């Protein structure tokens, strides 16, 4: 009985903290978007671009092109597909599989909606071709942080040692950060676009992971 009360109290605190964090991330996304679209150029973007230019080389560019692939739909769509197959056919959790699919799919639709809202033009002179659409927020940044957050959530539900969970979480968010930086290195997004992608990813993840938590708990 006492254990159940403690668990409910901890859950209530976690809800409150996550709600506050959600509001902070949502405000940061909207504020960054407003500043980015009404006050160009941003000093923040200029400073980061200059730093990235200072470390640029043909070898580095080749490596970054490989890194940025792991934030594309060509990599993430198969990953989501495998996750859905695992939960639907192996864990027999249909609704968890559906929830994961919707997190990825609706997150992508949210991206396009926000890009149409802000309509920020991408940087000039990109290092790669074939990139279209508006710049704020960065799709690769959003997608990679959403995927990193989702995978971290799944890992923390497993019976691993806390040290291993922390290690996996750090590696996943390092992966997402490298992908986000790769977009500015390749000059297909301003650094503030990448930051906006992170803010929107966190805003999207918080309600989604709570829904996934209760769906997983109900169909345990």
Contact by Cβ (8 Å): 81, 103: no
pLDDT computed for residue 178 by the predictor: 96
pLDDT computed for residue 39 by the predictor: 80
pLDDT computed for residue 219 by the predictor: 64
pLDDT computed for residue 146 by the predictor: 97
pLDDT computed for residue 177 by the predictor: 97
Cα gap 148→142, rounded to integer Å: 10
pLDDT computed for residue 3 by the predictor: 47
Q: Which tens digits make up the pLDDT trace of 96-150?
A: 899 999 999 999 999 999 999 999 999 988 999 888 889 999 999 999 999 999 9
Low-confidence ranges of the chain (pLDDT < 50): 1-4
Task: Give yes or no for a cis peptide into 139 (omega within 30° of 0).
Answer: no
pLDDT computed for residue 84 by the predictor: 95
Both tokens of 195, joined, read 């930051």
Cα gap 111→117, rounded to integer Å: 10
pLDDT computed for residue 220 by the predictor: 62
| pTM: predicted TM-score of the whole model, two decimal places | 0.92
Q: What residue ranges do the domains of the chain occupy?
A: 21-218
């Amino acid at each position: 009985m006492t254990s159940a009360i403690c668990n409910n109290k901890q859950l209530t605190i976690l809800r409150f903290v996550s709600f506050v964090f959600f509001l902070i991330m949502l405000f940061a996304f909207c504020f960054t978007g407003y500043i980015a679209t009404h006050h160009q150029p941003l000093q923040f973007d200029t400073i980061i671009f200059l730093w990235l230019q200072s470390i640029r080389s043909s070898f580095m560019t080749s490596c970054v092109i490989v890194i940025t692939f792991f934030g594309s739909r060509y990599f993430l769509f198969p990953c989501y597909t495998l996750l859905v197959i695992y939960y639907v056919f192996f864990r027999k959790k249909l609704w968890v599989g559906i929830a994961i699919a919707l997190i990825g799919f609706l997150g992508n639709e949210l991206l396009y909606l926000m890009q149409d809202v802000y309509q920020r033009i991408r940087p000039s002179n990109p290092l790669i071709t074939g990139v279209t659409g508006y710049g704020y927020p960065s799709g690769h940044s959003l997608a990679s942080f959403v995927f990193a957050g989702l995978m971290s959530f799944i890992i923390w539900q497993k019976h691993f040692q806390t040290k291993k969970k922390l290690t996996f979480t750090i590696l996943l968010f390092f992966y997402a950060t490298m992908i986000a930086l790769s977009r500015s290195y390749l000059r297909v997004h301003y650094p503030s676009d990448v930051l906006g992608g992170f803010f929107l990813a966190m805003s999207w993840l918080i309600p989604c992971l709570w829904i996934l938590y209760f769906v997983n708990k109900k169909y345990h």
